[in-house]
Amino acid sequence: MPPRLIDSLTTTAPLAEIFSDESILQALLDFEAALARAEERAGVIPRGAAQAIESAAVATNFDCAPLAAEFLRAGTPGIPMVQALTAKVRAAHAEAARFVHWGATSQDAADTALVLLLKRVRPVFAADLARLEKALAALSEKHRNSVMLGRTLLQAAPPVTFGLKAAGWLAAVRRCRMRLESAFTESLILQFGGASGTLAALGDKGLEVGHAMARDLGLAFPDAPWHAHRDRLAALLAASGVLTGCLAKMARDLALLMQGEVAEIAEPVGAGRGGSSTMPQKRNPIASAVALAAATRVPGLVASFLTGMIQEHERGVGGWQAEWRTVAEVMQATGLALASMAEVAEGLDVNVAQMRENIAATKGAVFAERVSMLLAESLGREQAHKIVQDAVRRGELQRRKLGDVLAENPDVTRLIDPATLRNLDSPESYLGVAEELRKRLLAGSESQSDSQDKRK
Task: Tell whether 293 is covered by a domain.
Answer: yes
Q: Spell out the residues 6+ positions from residue 431 whose beta carbon is closer than 8 angstroms to its own.
A: 147, 159, 160, 161
Pair (151, 234) in one structural domain: yes
CATH number of the domain residue 62 falls in = 1.10.275.10
Pair (252, 322) in one structural domain: yes
User: Domain end: 77, 104, 131, which one?
Assistant: 104
Determine contact, residues 425/403, Cβ cutoff 8 Å: yes
Pair (52, 128) in one structural domain: no
Q: Nearest-CA neighbor of 96 among 185, 35, 6, 163?
A: 35
Pair (114, 36) in one structural domain: no
Which residues on adjacent β-strands are paired with residue 189?
Answer: 220
> Any idea which residues carry the catalytic annotation?
276, 315
Pair (169, 282) in one structural domain: yes
Task: Tell whether 430 is covered by a domain.
Answer: no
CATH number of the domain residue 417 falls in = 1.10.40.30
Question: How high is the pLDDT of residue 447?
Answer: 58
Task: Tell whether 25 is covered by a domain.
Answer: yes
Task: Tell whether 196 is covered by a domain.
Answer: no
Task: Tell whether 201 is covered by a domain.
Answer: no
User: Domain end: 88, 104, 120, which one?
Assistant: 104
Pair (179, 316) in one structural domain: yes
Question: How high is the pLDDT of residue 277?
Answer: 44
Task: Tell whether 339 is covered by a domain.
Answer: yes
Question: How high is the pLDDT of residue 6?
Answer: 77
Task: Tell whether 261 is covered by a domain.
Answer: yes
Model's pTM, two decimal places? Answer: 0.92
Pair (35, 142) in one structural domain: no
Question: How high is the pLDDT of residue 455?
Answer: 54
User: Domain end: 64, 89, 104, which one?
Assistant: 104
Q: State the total domains in the chain.
A: 3
Pair (301, 331) in one structural domain: yes
Question: How high is the pLDDT of residue 283?
Answer: 76
Domain of residue 400 covers 363-424
Pair (401, 447) in one structural domain: no
Q: For residue 269, count CB atoms less than 10 angstroms from its CB and return exposed for 0-12, middle for 13-18, buried for 19 or more.
A: middle
CATH number of the domain residue 123 falls in = 1.20.200.10
Per-residue pLDDT of the chain (456 residues), as tens digits, is 677 777 778 899 999 999 999 999 999 999 999 999 999 999 999 999 999 999 999 999 998 888 888 888 877 888 899 999 999 999 999 999 999 999 999 999 999 999 999 999 999 999 999 999 999 999 999 999 999 999 999 999 999 999 999 999 999 999 999 999 999 999 999 999 999 999 999 999 999 999 999 999 999 999 999 999 999 999 999 999 999 999 999 999 999 999 999 999 999 976 545 544 454 445 788 999 999 999 999 999 999 999 999 999 988 888 888 899 999 999 999 999 999 999 999 999 999 999 999 999 999 999 999 999 999 988 899 999 999 999 999 999 999 999 999 999 998 899 998 888 888 889 999 999 999 999 999 998 665 555 555 555
Question: For the chain, what's the residue count?
Answer: 456
The CA dihedral of 213, 216, 217, 220, to the nearest 10 degrees, is 70
Give the C-alpha separation, 295 to 290, whole Å: 9
Pair (81, 156) in one structural domain: no
Pair (154, 235) in one structural domain: yes
Pair (168, 234) in one structural domain: yes
Task: Tell whether 254 is covered by a domain.
Answer: yes
CA distance to 57, 60, 84, per residue, from 88 (Å):
9, 12, 6
Give the C-alpha separation, 192 to 386, whole Å: 71
